[in-house]
Amino acid sequence: MVKQERAARTRQALIRAGAEVFAQEGFARASLTTISRQAGVSNGALHFHFPNKQALTQAVMAQALDTVRQIVRDAGARDVGPLQTLVEGTHRLMDRIGHDVVVRAGFGLSDDPLGGREPVLRLEWQRWVEHVLRQAEEDGHLGEGVSAGDAVVAVVAATVGLEVLGGTDRAWLSPETVTRLWDVLLPRLTGHGRDVS
């Protein structure tokens, strides 16, 4: 049991170290030697858990995806209405991107053409936004002339924009910035100045 716990801790340390190095250097420039050094383990220990950089990348992406799924589950768990759910989910996502290097690296790796991956984190986010806004439309929370499809375009573009810009300037991920975004979007989505941010 102790051996399994140690192995799990080592694996987690490697995922975190990999995320830190990927976030700083990108996929192509990141070396397994740098990652193992960052994690405080030998190259042999790294290769025991991850045979190559691609396998480590997949583990970082999988953990980031799990976190994004948990964020949207948590945001949807409260009975506050679909638009408030969307606002809270956006705040939670931007906070995690700003403070969780695995999530930040996961989004960054989605952009890296050398990694050969699809933007799964953004697709997961987009699917959730679509679901919430379709619910808002069905429940009559969207203003006259605002379709769920049009709202999805605006919300996904704006939130992904914050995520991308936050990669170089964390101020884009701040609660104040997210609130300002929703202060602009919500009046248009609802058709009036209802404040739910």
Question: 3-state SS string over 105-149?
Answer: HHHHHHHCHHHCCCCHHHHHHHHHHHHHHHHHHHCCCCCCCCCHH
The pLDDT of residue 196 is 47
| Confidence band for 191, pLDDT divided at 50, 70 and 90 | confident
Q: Residue 134: which residues within 8 A CB-CB, separation 6 or more? A: 148
- Are the CB atoms for 158 and 124 separated by under 8 Å? no
Max Cα distance, the chain (Å)? 61
Q: Is the pLDDT of residue 137 over 50?
A: yes
State pLDDT tens for residues 8-30: 999 999 999 999 999 999 888 99
- Name the nearest CA neighbour of 148 among 189, 105, 103: 189
Instruction: Enter the pTM of the model.
Output: 0.88
User: Mean pLDDT for the chain?
Assistant: 91
